[in-house]
Amino acid sequence: MSGSHEEERSVRAAVEGELRLLDPGVRASPEAVTELLDPEFHEFGASGRRYDRTSILDVTSAGAGNTTDDKAPAPSVVTEMSGALLAPGLVHLTYVSEGDGRRVRRSSIWRQSESGWRMYFHQGTPAGPS
């Protein structure tokens, strides 16, 4: 594995992308979401539903008030953010999001492409109270 500077820079880029995707304004913009999702993106939502890039765009582009049941329309509170460089160009993030009365443990894989860091995989698992 490369040095810690590469790990810090890579994890920071993935965290920045993750936080952008949680922003209701970004989620309401198909162009902004497309910019952050890998063409091969897939998600297992906290609802148990499976999404791919097209289906998540259909849901998020419907507007900030019509998000998936996995994401609150208001900004989520994010805690316990942690990241690790799995290999060059591949970062795993874990964190907890709280919003709209729901607490969800989340896991994302981000991979670097010619166009920047993009989310490749995401999973949300409902969590009990902290």
Confidence at 1, pLDDT banded by 50, 70, 90: very low
The per-type count for the chain, helices as H runs and strands as E runs, is 4, 6
Which residue is associated with the tokens 């198909």?
A: 30
Averaged pLDDT for residues 69-74: 50
Partner residues linked to 82 by β-bridges = 94
Q: Would you kindly state where each structural domain of the chain is located, as residue ranges?
A: 4-126
What distance in Å separates the CA atoms of residue 33 and residue 53, rounded to the nearest whole number?
9
Task: Name residue, tokens 């500077």.
Answer: 5
Helix (H, G, I), strand (E, B) or coil at 33: helix
Structure tokens at 129: 């109270």
Average pLDDT (16-34) is 92
The CATH number given to 4-126 is 3.10.450.50
Q: Report pLDDT for 101.
A: 84
What is the percentage of the chain residues whose pLDDT exceeds 70?
85
pLDDT band at 72 (very low <50, low <70, confident <90, very high): very low
Reported as a single tens digit per residue, the pLDDT across 74-101 is 668 999 999 999 999 999 999 999 987 8
pLDDT for residue 56 is more than 60: yes
- CA 93/CA 58 separation, integer angstroms: 25
